[in-house]
Chain A
Amino acid sequence: MRSPRWKILAGHLALLALSVAALLPFLWMLGTSLKADVEVFSPRLQLFPARPVWENYPRALAYIPFARYALNTLFIAALSAVGVTLASSLVAYSFSRLKWPGRDAVFFLLLSTLMLPAQVTMLPVFVVFKTLGWVGTFRPLIVPAFFGSAFFIFLLRQFFMTIPQELSDAARMDGASELDIWRRVMLPLSRPALTTVALFTFMGAWNDFLGPLMYLNDDTMYTLSLGLQQFVTQHGAQWNLLMAASVVMTLPIILLWFLGQRTFVQGVTLTGVKG
């Protein structure tokens, strides 16, 4: 059942045209990041400069304490990823493999929290952290991760349900505790799903803007999102440097996406979570 040749050709043409539209902004970003200051405003439409100014990159990274912001972001994102994955898998184990009275009602409660607008809880949670004296530290951005995330608990539960019950039963016969089964049976068997959760949490924390904006007020503790935004207000006219900084902030995420892509697709296909 092959498609007719004109259909294949039309498909390729449409996809190529759209690919250009999707990639052109990136190329424009990359090109601008390599232009000399005067070239940025040149009326000639030119994607890449004839002579790339590589010094824009060190200059951009020196404009703001870039390395420090990157380390701050990495710290928050890595700990969040560990926290969410660990906690969500524990909770998902309870909802998929343990039978207890009231379980289904509690699971429904968990699903319904997905509908709540963040704004409703945002202000009281801020007051809680303020009362604890945590505003101005990384704690409000990291500690909540260790309580799990409803969406990822749901995703991992779907995944755990596909793992044969016989495996846990056999382990139980050998005298394994539920914690052992979670650690030695479920976790090793669900690596694609766990990687998906960790990857998405890491990317989410890396990209997060509102959280750091609310909780960090000392500019030595800023994340890359806040640093880049500082750039807009302070050095708005330096488009080439701003674009260079954006490229550097985006690169790790695209790299991570490429590395995790296969695992991620597997995780999504196997869990069947897609609405």
Chain B
Amino acid sequence: MRSTERRRNLRALAAGLAFASPWLIGFAIFTAYPICASLYYSFTRYDTLSTPHWVGLQNYMRLLTEDELFWKSLRNTLFTVAFGLPASLVAGLALALLLNMKLRGMALYRTVFYIPSIVPTVASAVLWMWLLNPQIGLINRLLALAGVQGPGWLTDPAWAKPALILMGLWGVGGSMIIYLAGLQDVPRELYEAAEIDGAGGVAKFRHVTIPMLSPVIFFNLVMGLIGTFQYFTQVYVMTQGGPQDATLFYALHLFNRAFTDLQFGYASAMAWILFAITVLATALVFRTSARWVYYPGEMRQ
């Protein structure tokens, strides 16, 4: 009796593992092994041509004490986290609220706002280089119509990061769609109940919409955080980190160290520091989330 049960259990395990095997093998090759290897590389000098040479903590020491560009790229990235991320979170939510109204032609509006975020990254980067061109770009020409002399955008260290943030707002459609899905899940009864209690538009937004939407805001915040730390393609195509390293972001600096200078060990140490920062930032968000994220399925204390 017991042995047939065990046989059945074993058969279930075999079937389960067999179906899951593509991911299990992929996980071993593309995640588990690379994590161990990357940690090892980060303590070595390694150019991928000869074997890694153990140097202990030297890469980390050099990063933290000698590499000016490391700190610069970190500051640039944190600037985007501090200003670009909140701007796009708010813009995405505002757009989703507009698109959640009951209006004629809404399907068309939704498509219009989603399209910018499906444009290939390189194509939109090239397009924005053109739009932001100081002399002949559309943006400065429109500003000129209003009598404003536009800045040099990507050629001016003070304006390059704001220009990239502006460009990011154009592609806010991705998070907008997720907000929209969340908004459509808010039960109508809650709004009706709030109205009976005499709540106006602002009160309904503050006490119904925001709490009900908080899991979605949280999701977009975490995804945005991880994405911003890895921001790469746009700057690689548009500025290569310039002017005066104003757009040298962390991921670009890491890529240059690895594939231009062939310092794989050094770049691996950078990747681990990025990993630590990402985990730390995410943990911080998770920590505070207990206070503002509300899950309908869960009782609150």
Q: Which residues of A contact B (CB under 8 A)?
A: 2-3, 7-8, 11-12, 14-15, 18-19, 22-26, 28-29, 32, 40-41, 45, 87-88, 90-91, 93-95, 98-103, 106, 109-110, 113, 115-128, 130, 144, 146-148, 150, 153, 178, 182, 203, 206-207, 209-210, 213-214, 224-225, 228-229, 231-232, 239, 242-243, 246, 249-250, 253-254, 257, 261, 268-269, 274-275
Contacts and interface: CB of A to CB of B under 8 A. Distances in A.
B136 A40 contact: yes
Interface in B48-99: 48, 95, 98-99
Interface string B1-30: 000000001001101111110111111011
B123 A229 contact: no
Interface in B220-252: 220, 226, 229-230, 232-233, 236-237, 251
27 contacts: A15-B103, A45-B142, A91-B23, A94-B20, A115-B226, A115-B282, A117-B274, A119-B271, A119-B275, A120-B275, A121-B30, A121-B34, A121-B35, A124-B33, A128-B34, A147-B23, A147-B26, A148-B22, A153-B23, A209-B236, A210-B232, A225-B121, A228-B123, A232-B126, A249-B120, A253-B118, A269-B181
B264 A127 contact: yes
Contacts of A254: 115, 118-119
Given A25-B170, A98-B12, A11 B38 contact: no
Overall SS of chain B's interface: helix
Contacts of B259: 214
Contacts of B219: 274-275
B101 interface: yes
B31 interface: yes
B113 A127 contact: no
Given A11-B103, A12-B103, A19 B112 contact: yes
Contact of A119 (B13, B98, B116, B274): B274
A138 B93 CA distance: 39
Nearest to A106: B20
Residue picked from A3, A45, A88, A224, most chain B C-beta under 10 Å: A45
Nearest to A130: B48
Given A45-B141, A90-B19, A118-B230, 11 more contacts: A19-B109, A24-B138, A26-B115, A40-B136, A99-B16, A115-B226, A119-B230, A121-B35, A206-B120, A209-B121, A274-B182
A231 B38 CA distance: 34
B159 interface: no
A87 B230 contact: no
